[in-house]
Amino acid sequence: MIELIPAIDIINGQCVRLTKGDYDQKTVYRDSPAEVAREFEELGFKRLHVVDLDGAKSKHIVNTEVLQAITKTTHLRVDFGGGIKTDKDIETAFENGAEMVTVGSIAVTHPERFIAWLQKYGAERLILGADVRNGKISINGWKEDSTEDLLPFLKKYIEAGVKNVLCTEISKDGTLQGPAIELYRSVMKEYPDLHLIASGGVSSIEDIQALNEAGIPAVVFGKAIYEGKINLKELWDWQNA
Protein backbone atom coordinates (compact mmCIF):
# COMPACT_ATOMS: atom_id res chain seq x y z
CA MET A 1 0.00 0.00 0.00
CA ILE A 2 1.25 3.45 -0.91
CA GLU A 3 2.68 5.59 1.90
CA LEU A 4 0.72 8.83 2.47
CA ILE A 5 2.82 11.92 3.25
CA PRO A 6 1.13 15.30 3.74
CA ALA A 7 3.18 18.39 2.91
CA ILE A 8 3.67 21.74 4.58
CA ASP A 9 5.39 24.46 2.54
CA ILE A 10 6.61 27.51 4.45
CA ILE A 11 7.06 31.16 3.48
CA ASN A 12 7.43 33.86 6.15
CA GLY A 13 6.59 31.27 8.79
CA GLN A 14 3.19 30.56 7.21
CA CYS A 15 1.72 27.44 5.63
CA VAL A 16 1.42 28.12 1.88
CA ARG A 17 1.23 26.46 -1.51
CA LEU A 18 2.64 27.67 -4.80
CA THR A 19 1.42 26.85 -8.30
CA LYS A 20 4.10 25.34 -10.55
CA GLY A 21 6.74 26.61 -8.13
CA ASP A 22 5.88 30.24 -8.91
CA TYR A 23 6.44 32.44 -5.86
CA ASP A 24 4.06 34.99 -7.40
CA GLN A 25 1.28 32.38 -7.38
CA LYS A 26 1.17 31.88 -3.62
CA THR A 27 -1.81 30.95 -1.48
CA VAL A 28 -1.53 31.28 2.30
CA TYR A 29 -3.60 28.62 4.07
CA ARG A 30 -2.66 28.89 7.72
CA ASP A 31 -0.50 31.10 9.93
CA SER A 32 0.82 28.24 12.09
CA PRO A 33 2.48 25.29 10.32
CA ALA A 34 3.02 23.61 13.71
CA GLU A 35 -0.72 23.67 14.34
CA VAL A 36 -1.34 22.12 10.93
CA ALA A 37 1.25 19.43 11.71
CA ARG A 38 -0.51 18.59 14.97
CA GLU A 39 -3.80 18.25 13.11
CA PHE A 40 -2.19 15.87 10.61
CA GLU A 41 -0.88 13.76 13.49
CA GLU A 42 -4.31 13.70 15.15
CA LEU A 43 -5.80 12.48 11.86
CA GLY A 44 -3.42 9.52 11.91
CA PHE A 45 -0.55 10.55 9.65
CA LYS A 46 2.89 9.33 10.76
CA ARG A 47 5.13 11.30 8.45
CA LEU A 48 5.38 14.88 7.20
CA HIS A 49 7.18 16.56 4.30
CA VAL A 50 8.26 20.11 5.17
CA VAL A 51 9.67 22.54 2.59
CA ASP A 52 11.37 25.79 3.55
CA LEU A 53 10.52 27.81 0.42
CA ASP A 54 12.29 30.87 1.81
CA GLY A 55 15.34 28.67 2.24
CA ALA A 56 15.12 27.29 -1.28
CA LYS A 57 15.02 30.82 -2.65
CA SER A 58 17.73 32.19 -0.31
CA LYS A 59 20.01 29.13 -0.70
CA HIS A 60 20.27 28.54 3.05
CA ILE A 61 17.84 27.36 5.74
CA VAL A 62 15.55 30.15 6.92
CA ASN A 63 12.58 28.67 8.81
CA THR A 64 14.49 26.79 11.52
CA GLU A 65 12.09 27.89 14.26
CA VAL A 66 9.11 26.47 12.38
CA LEU A 67 10.87 23.12 11.93
CA GLN A 68 11.69 23.05 15.64
CA ALA A 69 8.11 23.94 16.59
CA ILE A 70 6.80 21.03 14.50
CA THR A 71 9.27 18.44 15.77
CA LYS A 72 8.94 19.49 19.41
CA THR A 73 5.13 19.36 19.46
CA THR A 74 4.48 16.22 17.36
CA HIS A 75 5.85 12.70 16.98
CA LEU A 76 5.72 12.91 13.19
CA ARG A 77 8.69 11.65 11.21
CA VAL A 78 9.67 14.85 9.45
CA ASP A 79 11.64 15.08 6.24
CA PHE A 80 12.84 18.61 5.63
CA GLY A 81 14.04 20.33 2.49
CA GLY A 82 14.74 23.76 1.09
CA GLY A 83 18.00 25.65 1.26
CA ILE A 84 20.24 22.80 2.40
CA LYS A 85 23.52 23.81 0.77
CA THR A 86 26.25 23.46 3.40
CA ASP A 87 27.35 21.12 6.18
CA LYS A 88 25.96 23.69 8.63
CA ASP A 89 22.55 23.62 6.92
CA ILE A 90 22.20 19.84 7.06
CA GLU A 91 23.39 19.74 10.67
CA THR A 92 20.91 22.49 11.55
CA ALA A 93 18.07 20.46 10.05
CA PHE A 94 18.99 17.36 12.03
CA GLU A 95 19.65 19.29 15.24
CA ASN A 96 16.16 20.81 15.00
CA GLY A 97 14.44 17.46 14.78
CA ALA A 98 14.33 16.48 11.12
CA GLU A 99 14.60 12.71 10.78
CA MET A 100 15.42 12.95 7.09
CA VAL A 101 16.45 15.73 4.71
CA THR A 102 15.61 16.22 1.07
CA VAL A 103 18.53 17.49 -0.99
CA GLY A 104 18.27 18.35 -4.66
CA SER A 105 20.26 21.33 -5.90
CA ILE A 106 23.53 20.30 -4.23
CA ALA A 107 23.36 16.91 -5.95
CA VAL A 108 23.51 18.84 -9.23
CA THR A 109 25.96 21.64 -8.40
CA HIS A 110 28.24 19.89 -5.86
CA PRO A 111 27.90 16.12 -6.31
CA GLU A 112 30.95 15.39 -4.17
CA ARG A 113 29.27 17.13 -1.21
CA PHE A 114 26.09 15.14 -1.66
CA ILE A 115 28.07 11.89 -1.78
CA ALA A 116 29.93 12.90 1.39
CA TRP A 117 26.61 13.50 3.16
CA LEU A 118 25.30 10.17 1.90
CA GLN A 119 28.32 8.43 3.39
CA LYS A 120 28.23 10.40 6.65
CA TYR A 121 24.51 10.29 7.46
CA GLY A 122 23.42 7.17 5.60
CA ALA A 123 20.97 6.45 2.80
CA GLU A 124 18.02 6.17 5.20
CA ARG A 125 18.36 9.81 6.27
CA LEU A 126 18.89 11.39 2.85
CA ILE A 127 16.24 11.84 0.18
CA LEU A 128 17.42 12.82 -3.29
CA GLY A 129 15.17 15.56 -4.62
CA ALA A 130 14.59 15.23 -8.36
CA ASP A 131 12.47 18.17 -9.48
CA VAL A 132 11.71 17.86 -13.18
CA ARG A 133 10.71 20.41 -15.79
CA ASN A 134 10.74 19.50 -19.50
CA GLY A 135 12.70 16.38 -18.65
CA LYS A 136 15.53 18.31 -16.96
CA ILE A 137 16.35 18.62 -13.25
CA SER A 138 15.55 22.06 -11.83
CA ILE A 139 17.42 23.62 -8.91
CA ASN A 140 17.38 26.48 -6.39
CA GLY A 141 13.70 26.60 -5.65
CA TRP A 142 12.88 25.71 -9.28
CA LYS A 143 14.33 29.04 -10.37
CA GLU A 144 16.97 27.44 -12.61
CA ASP A 145 17.01 24.47 -14.99
CA SER A 146 20.11 22.28 -15.15
CA THR A 147 21.35 20.20 -18.07
CA GLU A 148 20.80 16.95 -16.12
CA ASP A 149 18.30 14.45 -17.58
CA LEU A 150 16.19 12.61 -14.98
CA LEU A 151 17.09 8.94 -15.47
CA PRO A 152 20.89 9.37 -15.84
CA PHE A 153 20.79 11.70 -12.82
CA LEU A 154 19.04 9.04 -10.75
CA LYS A 155 21.30 6.24 -12.03
CA LYS A 156 24.42 8.05 -10.86
CA TYR A 157 23.17 8.38 -7.30
CA ILE A 158 21.39 5.05 -7.00
CA GLU A 159 24.72 3.45 -7.88
CA ALA A 160 26.25 5.56 -5.08
CA GLY A 161 23.74 4.17 -2.58
CA VAL A 162 20.64 6.40 -2.74
CA LYS A 163 17.47 4.55 -1.74
CA ASN A 164 14.91 7.38 -1.45
CA VAL A 165 13.95 9.80 -4.23
CA LEU A 166 11.33 12.55 -4.13
CA CYS A 167 10.33 13.29 -7.72
CA THR A 168 8.24 16.36 -8.47
CA GLU A 169 6.88 17.14 -11.90
CA ILE A 170 6.95 20.94 -11.66
CA SER A 171 4.35 21.52 -14.36
CA LYS A 172 1.88 19.55 -12.21
CA ASP A 173 2.75 20.96 -8.80
CA GLY A 174 -0.06 22.89 -7.14
CA THR A 175 -2.32 22.57 -10.18
CA LEU A 176 -4.67 19.83 -8.89
CA GLN A 177 -4.61 18.40 -12.43
CA GLY A 178 -3.45 14.90 -11.56
CA PRO A 179 0.03 13.42 -11.03
CA ALA A 180 2.57 12.52 -13.71
CA ILE A 181 1.89 8.80 -13.42
CA GLU A 182 3.70 7.81 -16.63
CA LEU A 183 6.83 9.64 -15.46
CA TYR A 184 6.83 7.74 -12.18
CA ARG A 185 6.02 4.48 -13.90
CA SER A 186 9.06 4.95 -16.15
CA VAL A 187 11.29 5.50 -13.11
CA MET A 188 9.95 2.42 -11.32
CA LYS A 189 10.41 0.31 -14.46
CA GLU A 190 14.07 1.29 -14.52
CA TYR A 191 14.61 1.08 -10.74
CA PRO A 192 12.00 -1.29 -9.22
CA ASP A 193 13.65 -1.35 -5.78
CA LEU A 194 13.72 2.43 -5.40
CA HIS A 195 11.59 4.08 -2.70
CA LEU A 196 10.09 6.66 -5.03
CA ILE A 197 7.98 9.44 -3.58
CA ALA A 198 5.64 11.01 -6.15
CA SER A 199 4.90 14.70 -5.80
CA GLY A 200 2.80 17.19 -7.72
CA GLY A 201 -0.73 17.40 -9.09
CA VAL A 202 -2.61 15.11 -6.67
CA SER A 203 -6.22 16.28 -6.67
CA SER A 204 -8.28 13.37 -5.35
CA ILE A 205 -8.31 9.98 -3.69
CA GLU A 206 -8.61 8.53 -7.20
CA ASP A 207 -5.21 10.04 -8.07
CA ILE A 208 -3.66 8.34 -5.04
CA GLN A 209 -5.35 5.06 -5.92
CA ALA A 210 -3.96 5.31 -9.46
CA LEU A 211 -0.44 5.86 -8.12
CA ASN A 212 -0.88 2.87 -5.83
CA GLU A 213 -2.05 0.70 -8.74
CA ALA A 214 1.00 1.84 -10.72
CA GLY A 215 3.23 0.50 -7.94
CA ILE A 216 4.50 3.87 -6.69
CA PRO A 217 5.75 3.41 -3.09
CA ALA A 218 4.82 6.81 -1.64
CA VAL A 219 3.07 10.09 -2.41
CA VAL A 220 3.37 13.66 -1.11
CA PHE A 221 0.30 15.86 -1.33
CA GLY A 222 -0.82 19.10 0.25
CA LYS A 223 -2.98 21.45 -1.77
CA ALA A 224 -5.70 18.82 -2.26
CA ILE A 225 -6.04 18.66 1.54
CA TYR A 226 -6.05 22.42 2.05
CA GLU A 227 -8.56 22.95 -0.76
CA GLY A 228 -10.88 20.24 0.59
CA LYS A 229 -10.49 18.04 -2.49
CA ILE A 230 -9.65 14.95 -0.44
CA ASN A 231 -11.93 13.61 2.28
CA LEU A 232 -9.42 12.25 4.78
CA LYS A 233 -11.89 9.83 6.37
CA GLU A 234 -12.55 8.29 2.95
CA LEU A 235 -8.81 8.17 2.34
CA TRP A 236 -8.20 6.28 5.59
CA ASP A 237 -11.12 3.94 4.93
CA TRP A 238 -9.63 3.11 1.53
CA GLN A 239 -6.13 2.58 2.89
CA ASN A 240 -7.33 0.37 5.74
CA ALA A 241 -9.91 -1.61 3.77
Catalytic entry in 9, 54, 79, 89:
9
What is the DSSP track for 128-188?
Answer: EEEEEETTEEEETTTTEEEEEEHHHHHHHHHHTT--EEEEEETTTTTT-S---HHHHHHHH
3-state secondary structure (DSSP) of residue 96: coil
Active site residue 9: yes
3-state secondary structure (DSSP) of residue 241: coil
Cα separation, 63 vs 228, in Å, equals: 26
Cα separation, 152 vs 220, in Å, equals: 23
Please answer whether residues 123 and 101 qualify as being in contact, where contact means their C-beta atoms are separated by less than 8 angstroms: no
Q: What is the DSSP letter of 204?
A: S
Active site residue 193: no
Catalytic entry in 54, 79, 89, 131:
131
Q: Mutual orientation of helices 205-213 and 232-239 as an angle, nearest 10°?
A: 20
Cα separation, 153 vs 155, in Å, equals: 6
Q: Which residues are catalytic?
A: 9, 131
